[in-house]
Amino acid sequence: MLVRGIRGATTIKTDTVEEVLQATRELLEQICNDNDLKTEDIASALFTVTADIRSAFPAAAARSMGWDKVPLLCFQEIEVHNALPRCIRVLVHVNTEKSQEEIRHVYMKDAQSLRTDLQR
């Protein structure tokens, strides 16, 4: 079995606990659905948020979904001039037999503009 990375990102309109957690849950659910993942397939997940998100840790949404045994870390994204604001990004490491070409990366809301080359 291989370890593969699955990228994803989404955005929020306002920095509230509810919006951060809801947007993160939607993103993680879509990643799991698109890649036929079960919680036990997930090796770890790394989250970043832009500096304008301070109300909640995205990892809290993952834990609320049953990812309580999955190693999770949150970081602040580097500040780049004109970067997409209010953005939550994730890199999910999964144990899988899928090839790189079979992995489905997920970009939602305004984050769809980040990696149009990975959209399907």
Q: Is 7 among the residues known to form the active site?
A: yes
- Choose the catalytic residue: 4, 19, 87, 89: 89
- Choose the catalytic residue: 7, 25, 26, 104: 7
Residues 6+ apart with CB under 8 A from 86: 11, 12, 13, 14, 15, 50, 52, 53
Determine the Cα–Cα distance for residues 88 and 9; give it in Å rounded to an integer: 6
Determine the Cα–Cα distance for residues 42 and 30; give it in Å rounded to an integer: 14
Q: Is 77 among the residues known to form the active site?
A: yes
Q: Is 63 among the residues known to form the active site?
A: yes
- Choose the catalytic residue: 4, 32, 77, 87: 77
- Choose the catalytic residue: 4, 32, 74, 86: 74
Q: What are phi and psi of 114, to 5 degrees?
A: -70, -45
- Choose the catalytic residue: 32, 63, 101, 120: 63
Q: Is 101 among the residues known to form the active site?
A: no
- Choose the catalytic residue: 25, 26, 104, 115: 115
Q: What are phi and psi of 78, to 5 degrees?
A: -65, 145
Active-site residue numbers?
7, 63, 74, 77, 89, 107, 115
